[in-house]
Amino acid sequence: MTELPVPALSLVALVGISGAGKSTFAGRHFAPSQVLSSDAFRAMVADDETDQSASAAAFDALYYVAGKRLAAGRLTVVDATHVQEHARSSLVALARAHDVLPAAIVLDLPEDEAWARTEARPDRSFGRAVLARQSRDLRRTLKRLNREGFRTVHVLRGREEIEAATIRLQP
Ligand code: CTP
Ligand code: MG
């Protein structure tokens, strides 16, 4: 078991390609009310959690809620892929605006494993090319997270490390 220290008042970005296990990880380690998921917000604004054309509106709404939580001093976890720099930079900016620490927890599952899981899901229908692009974006990302402003960065490589991890909130 590996304990990942995370400041008790942080804005946590889960980072990982589709199928990496972000939502599963969030559900295991955080209370449901602490987790804001881009899928849930897409469903809220567009009745369809996979509607990518709703992403801008969904993230507006998600960040609005995250801002309210951070203003009230509540740990908040954002469950979205965060493989692209622009997505992470908005999250870092939001954390800074509220004077809380941005943290990143990267779930780095091999693309083949993530694809096998994704293919088995009734609620995912995109092609392998989408996953390949996410993987490419993630690879470029990994070295940069500290420079982008994340003060806490944890990278979990592979299924075993992901499953063995627990979160330790630091006062
Ligand atoms: N899964 C699994 N074993 C795990 C973790 C996840 O079999 N240890 C399965 C889940 O049940 C799910 C799929 O793998 O069917 C993807 O996991 P999920 O947590 O939903 O991945 P996400 O990273 O949240 O994927 P997405 O970005 O598409 O939401
Ligand atoms: Mg998910």
Distance, CA 163 to ligand 1 centroid (Å)? 12
Q: What is the pTM assigned to this prediction? A: 0.98
Radius of gyration of the chain (CA): 15
The tokens for 17 are 């390609």
Return the C-alpha torsion angle 2, 108, 26, 102, nearest 10: 90
**What region does 89 belong to: left with phi over 0, alpha with psi -120 to 50, or beta?**
alpha
For the chain, what's the residue count?
171
Residues with CB in 5 Å of ion ligand 2: 22-23
Ligand 1 atom, smallest distance to 25 CA: 19
Q: What is the pLDDT of residues 28-76, one digit of tens each?
A: 999 999 999 999 999 999 999 999 999 999 999 999 999 999 999 999 9
For ligand 2, the distance from its centroid to the CA atom of residue 44, given in whole angstroms, is: 15
Beta strands in the chain (DSSP E): 2-7, 10-15, 35-37, 76-79, 101-108, 152-157, 165-170
First-to-final CA distance of the chain: 21
108-157 confidence digits (pLDDT tens): 999 999 999 999 999 999 999 999 999 999 999 999 999 999 999 999 99
SS3 30: coil
Q: What is the ipTM of this complex?
A: 0.99
Q: Which residues line ligand 1 (CB under 6 A)?
A: 16, 18-24, 39, 81, 117, 121, 124, 163
Q: Which amino acid is at 131?
A: L
Q: Which atom of ligand 1 is nearest to the CA of 163?
A: 8
Query: In a mutational test of the pocket of ligand 1, which residue from 17, 23, 35 has the highest number of ligand atoms less than 8 Å from its CB?
Result: 23
